[in-house]
Amino acid sequence: MSKRIKELLVTDLQQRIGDTSEILVVDSSRLDAISDNRFRLGLRENDIRILTVKNSMVLRALHSAEVTALDPILKGPSSLVFGGEDIVSLSKVIAGWAREFGDDLLQIKGGMLEGTTLSSTDVDELSKSPSREELIGQIAGLLLSPGASIAGALLGPGGLVAGSIEAMADGEAGEESGEAESADEEAGDADSEDTEAVAEEPEPEAAADEPEAAADEPEAAADESAAAEDADVEEEPDSEESEA
């Protein structure tokens, strides 16, 4: 293979790998054609890509991007597997296929994560870890459970406070109504006292007695005038007798 062709292949590998920092390495050389085809189709369904290239060319492509984490793993038959949602989902899918085919047909050799070399044991542990969606669900549950507790704690005392405030408001309303009633009663008592005072001030009987007394005075005057006339009458004969 000419140097020019190798350079083109390396450039193509660089473009395919891109800035991927999560890669697993497997040995699928012992799979038959049907199993290998099923394996690759299953990976494609999970948006996972697989590349089987000479180790020397892969190392050149990785070294050009200053990636050396796969150097101790890229020995013997190797295929690069990358893609999926994250390294955990990728590990779960590869571990599932390895259990289906068996380690003697599909071997997980290791991988890399953010520049760190992963052994086959590390990949197995990652496959048993919760996936990104599961972690998000767990975190959401952890965040919501204290929130629900806090909400319950707030609502409980809040209900008591609201009840106390309502009771206080009812009590104040009752006191205001009672004060209003007492004020009305006091006003009624004051009105009744004023009425009694007005009734006691001038007595109509005394006023009535004065006219009677005034009526008696003319009668007395009339009696006096009658007595005077009688005296004149009686005195007149005496005068006549004296003249005689």
| Residues sharing a CB contact under 8 Å with residue 132, sequence separation 6 or more, in sequence order | 85, 86, 88, 89
Predicted confidence band of residue 199 (pLDDT cuts 50, 70, 90): very low
- Residue 176: the pLDDT is 59
**Residue 228: count of CB within 10 angstroms of its CB:** 10
> Can you give the residue ranges of every domain in the chain?
3-129, 130-201, 203-232
pTM to 2 decimal places: 0.55
Give the separation between CA 106 and CA 108, rounded to whole angstroms: 7
Identify whether the C-beta of residue 53 lies closer than 8 Å to the C-beta of residue 13.
Answer: yes
Residue range 3-129 forms a domain whose CATH class is alpha beta
- Residue 244: the pLDDT is 32
- Higher pLDDT pick, 49 / 231: 49
Render pLDDT for 51-69 as a digit per residue (tens, 0 to 9).
988 898 888 888 888 888 9
> 169 in the Ramachandran plot: left (φ > 0), alpha (ψ -120 to 50) or beta?
alpha
Please tell me the number of Cα atoms within 13 Å of 187 on its side-chain side: 6
